[in-house]
Amino acid sequence: MQSDHDIQVLPPGLKNQIAAGEVVERPASVVKELVENSLDAGATRVDVTVERGGRGLIVVQDNGRGVPAGQLDLAVTRHATSKLRTFDDLAAIASFGFRGEALPSIASVSRFTMTSRALDAAEAAFIEVRGGEVVGQGPAALASGTRVEVRELFANTPARLKFLKAETTENKRCQDTLMRISLAHPACGFSLTINGREMFRLPPGQDLAARLRAFWPPAVCDALAPFDFERLGYRARGVAGAPSSAQGRADRILLYVNGRPVQDKLMLGAVRQAYKGMLLSREYPQLALFLDLPRDEVDVNVHPAKLEVRFTDESRVFSAIRGGVMQALSTMNEMGMNEMGMSASLSADRAHREQGRAGFGAGSDYPRNGAPSDSATGGGLGASSPSSFREGGAKFSTYRDYAAMTGRPGTLDLGPGAGELDERGDRDLGPESGPYTGPHMGPDMRAAVRDGSRSAPLAGTDFVYLGQVADTYLVLRRGTSLVLVDQHAAHERVLLAAMRRERTRGDSQPLALPLTLPLHPSEAEVLDELGEGLRAMGFLLEREGDTLLVRGVPPTLDTGRAREYLTDALASRARTIDDLWTMMACKTAIKAGQPLATDEALALLDVWLRTPERDYCPHGRPIVVSWSPGELEKLFKRK
């Protein structure tokens, strides 16, 4: 009698299902393996069809060399391949699929049919496999190439089926997979049809820029610069995005090794090093990078799905990639693609401060001297008048009106040192009439406002406002400590808190003539996800084919800023209404480099001190830094 602990050879069907667990994680894995087989067969046209997220049907058809009828059964046999002959071939892999596991693994977890016609064959032939067992084989009709149909994926492995995501998610993964492959093979044409709808059709012979424009919004593609850099036989080529167009997700960093899409920490580290000093820690550039190197100096056999690689000389890989990306960044500076026209070492810091960047690079309504232009209707606290405040498109004559919009005294979690509230929840404004010029002003504070050279205390706190440095940082004294506040970051946090509280009401300002925005397919996808959030913010939107009609905008945005905001939102891949609020706060906050009158600075500081999470801006940057006397002594080497 055989014991349960005796060693025995597994049945073929079980072995195939175990192999499938390594190679076929989800429908996108099937698409990847089949399309790579088509490319290895010399196809110049690959058409992919997906239904029900890949659960129902996946079809990949090509015009490649095809498989002879007598070898179809070997094609679905494990460890049978035409791509390797000797042990030495493993040291210089030139094909995409070479293990001989993909087809039998896919066939073991689906209803699998492959029809193929070899170049010199008089007719085509097919083979049908169910659950790893061949159930049919014979002649078929096909003009050329190979057609593979995969139906009812994972139907016989329900445990794996339940871990698949929603249909839309699996469809998107299939689309991303084919997109990544198509960028590496511009000589081949591709098409993708999902649930009967053609998502894209790429003609053969396109260049990289044309291919990217089919997938990325124009705002992203316009900020790309090409590079082609070679060092010691390692070549890094592709396109890199401007730091000012960076976004909060890494899904537009595409890495390739010898035409193979990969995920590699070393390569990503080299990219980040090239952008060092230009991006925040949570920002990612747009990049398509192709690394070409001798095949015997890279091991592509370290991962079942071939997504990871191992390099013989990592330092050469790092320097080639870093040199290539830096070449693109240098080109941007020379051509003025970097919006501020600054050197690379300063661009990110200044661009973030002046643009309040949240993954987009729209220009400010303020000229370089920091004063608002005549046409400016947004930008938070304006500098047009020392006794008025500007929030978006609305101008407030009193601080009480401004605070009602941005601070809502009495409704926020007041921080330490916040001023007292009266019985109505408002600040005690004192006896003075006319425009309010600061928070809870006493005689000393009113005198300081009249004389900008003197310090001004913030009532109810131990802060004393001393002035503004570089038209960007507000300088305060707190006891014996020196404190700096980033005015843009502080105003961002104030506006975001107000939006979270008020902006879901959907207040809108109708437009006499609607704005029209052309919709790129990638932007239309984002609009489908963000439509409700945008409407809750006050945008009145209608779709007419590939055009977006904007019939109303939030009251705090004029039409120019509304157009910029929608363009940026659809290009940045925001996903939640909080992302939209963050972008809106960034768009309308006062900018770095903008002079503030003393009363405006005091008003901003007063509201900011009563705002939750006031130490960091919505992007995670610090708003305030301070130095104690001991820390100042260390800076001056006094101890």
Q: Which residue has the higher pLDDT, 376 or 82?
A: 82
Average of per-residue pLDDT across 10-34: 73
Residues 6 or more apart whose Cβ sits within 8 Å of residue 210: none
Is the model's pLDDT at 62 over the cut of 70? yes
- The pLDDT score that the predictor gives to residue 504 is 54
**Cβ contact 70:84 at 8 Å:** no
pLDDT-derived band at 398 (thresholds 50, 70, 90) equals very low
Q: Which fold has domain 209-354?
A: Ribosomal Protein S5; domain 2 (3.30.230)
Residue-wise pLDDT tens digits, 82-141: 554 454 544 445 556 544 578 888 998 899 999 999 988 999 999 999 988 899 999 999
Q: What is the pLDDT of residue 638?
A: 83
CA distance 242 to 103: 42
pLDDT digits (tens, 9 = 90+) for 216-234: 998 899 889 999 999 999 9
Domain borders along the chain are 12-201, 209-354, 361-639
User: Which residues are within 8 A (CB) of 146 and not within 5 positions of it... i.e. 6 or more apart?
Assistant: 37, 38, 41, 61, 62, 64, 66, 67, 114, 115, 116, 117
pLDDT at 155 over 90: no
Is residue 64's pLDDT more than 60? Answer: yes
Helix H, strand E, coil C: the string for 259-272 is CEEECCHHHHHHHH
| Helix (H) or strand (E) run with residue 234 in it | strand 234-241
Residue predicted with more confidence, 581 or 84: 581
Residue 565, pLDDT above cutoff 50: yes
Share of the chain above pLDDT 70, in %: 72
Q: Could you tell me which residue, 167 or 333, shows the higher pLDDT? A: 167
Residue 638 CB partners (closer than 8 Å, separation 6+): none
In angstroms, the CA 347 to CA 488 distance is 17
φ/ψ of residue 543, rounded to 5: -100, 130
Which pLDDT band holds residue 376 (cuts at 50, 70, 90)?
Answer: very low
**What is the per-residue pLDDT for 132?**
81
Q: Which residues have C-beta within 8 Å of that of residue 401, sequence separation ≥ 6? A: 389
Report the C-alpha gap between 379 and 126 in whole angstroms.
66
376-385, 460-469, 555-564: range with lowest mean pLDDT: 376-385
Task: Supply the pLDDT for residue 348.
Answer: 34
Between 1 and 465, the higher pLDDT residue? 465
pLDDT category at 618 given cuts 50, 70, 90 is confident
**pLDDT at 79 (0 to 100):** 61
Segments in 538-638 forming alpha helices (H): 559-572, 577-588, 598-609, 629-635
What does the pLDDT read at residue 305?
57
Domain 12-201 sits in CATH at 3.30.565.10
User: Which pLDDT band holds residue 372 (cuts at 50, 70, 90)?
Assistant: very low
Q: pLDDT by residue (tens digit) across 405-420?
A: 444 333 222 222 333 3
CB-neighbour burial class of residue 148 (10 A; exposed 0-12, middle 13-18, buried 19+): buried
- pLDDT class of 370 with cuts at 50, 70, 90: very low
Q: Give the span between the Cα atoms of 130 and 167, in whole angstroms.
A: 23
How much is the average pLDDT of 523-547? 86
User: Residue 456 in contact with residue 438, Cβ under 8 Å?
Assistant: yes
State how far the Cα of 520 lies from the Cα of 536, in Å rounded to an integer. Answer: 23
What is the pLDDT confidence band of residue 248, given thresholds at 50, 70 and 90? confident
Mean pLDDT of all residues belonging to the chain: 76
In this prediction, residues 285-306 reach a mean pLDDT of: 83
298 pLDDT above the threshold of 70: yes
Q: Residue 286: which pLDDT band, with cuts at 50, 70 and 90? A: very high
DSSP-derived letter for residue 302 is S
**High-pLDDT (> 90) share of the chain, %:** 40
Residues 304-327: what's their mean pLDDT? 87
